[in-house]
Amino acid sequence: MSNQPNLSCSNPVPRHAGAGVQSDLIPGHVAIIMDGNGRWAERQGLPRKAGHRRGVSNIRRIVELLAQRGVRVVTLYAFSTENWSRPTDEVDSLMAILAEEIGPQTRELHRAGVKLVHLGDMTPLDPALQEAIRQAQDTTRYNVGVTVNVAFNYGGRDEILQAVRRMIADGIVPEAVDESLFSRYLYTDGCPDPDLIIRTGGEQRLSNFLIWQAAYSEYYHTPVLWPDLDAEDLDRALGAYGQRQRRFGSLDVQDDPSGE
């Protein structure tokens, strides 16, 4: 919208399901709540930050697998607006890990044709980190492979509030406000809603993730901790999705009525 760069995540990429996978059963957009890094580290007798590092190293493997299976958009929940309430040393190490990893990870993902998009509020981040995020987006903006949205300092309620503020600042009249216009003011402008939300680490909640966009998403949770999530776990999640009947409030099984 007006004061936000156009980082639309919908690329005109045909779905290409892998051998033996029926393309109509593959979710176009998979969002992942990457939870369980701390417990992974604690179980190995390591500091929590070691779990976060291990978590980052699992991103590329999972993105590649999802791409191979025909998924076009992947959204990863990496740091919530509530995660600032963790002890300072944990927050500092999460910021340091992002600062260190963003360059190398972007290079690898760029080589794989991935388009990177940040979701969330960048303003409280260190200016050098903000610049690195902008660079990652600029470098990959014309890639037509999978789009990977990284939700970092993202909160669903914060997203809705910033949308309302910008709509008021733009002088939008009440009669003009509908779901389509509102969606265009969200960080996910241009993105289809997630078809499938996977949460690792066993919790069964959204934790302020995509609360508008998840209205009709299918939900899957697994006790597997994020650093351990592998191809088999992922295929179990995709298989479960393939069994779901999506009705969107109607009595018939449907494709997403929004046409995404």
Distance, C-alpha 87 to centroid of its chain: 24
> Is 35 an interacting residue with respect to Mg ion (CB under 5 A)?
yes
Phi, psi of 9 (to 5 degrees): -100, 5
> Is 155 an interacting residue with respect to ligand IPE (CB under 6 A)?
no
Question: Which of 28, 37, 120, 136 touches ligand IPE (CB under 6 A)?
Answer: 37
CB 185 within 8 A of CB 153: no
**Considering only 21-29, 75-83, 104-112, 121-129, which stretch makes contact with ligand IPE by CB under 6 A?**
75-83
**Considering only 1-9, 74-82, 98-106, 245-253, which stretch makes contact with ligand IPE by CB under 6 A?**
74-82
Please say which residue, 26 or 133, places its beta carbon nearer to ligand IPE. 133
In whole angstroms, what is the distance from residue 257 CA to residue 10 CA? Answer: 17
> Is 138 an interacting residue with respect to ligand IPE (CB under 6 A)?
no
Residues 77-106 that bind ligand IPE (CB under 6 A): 77-80, 83, 94
CA distances to 9, 61, 81 from 66, rounded to whole Å, are 16, 9, 27
Distance, C-alpha 196 to centroid of its chain: 11
Work out what residue 39 binds among ligand IPE, Mg ion, none; the CB cut-off runs from 5 to 8 Å by kind.
ligand IPE
Catalytic entry in 3, 6, 11, 35: 35
| 207 Rama class: left (phi>0) / alpha (psi -120 to 50) / beta | left
Q: Which residues lie near Mg ion (CB under 5 A)?
A: 35
For the annotated catalytic residues, the residue numbers are 35, 83
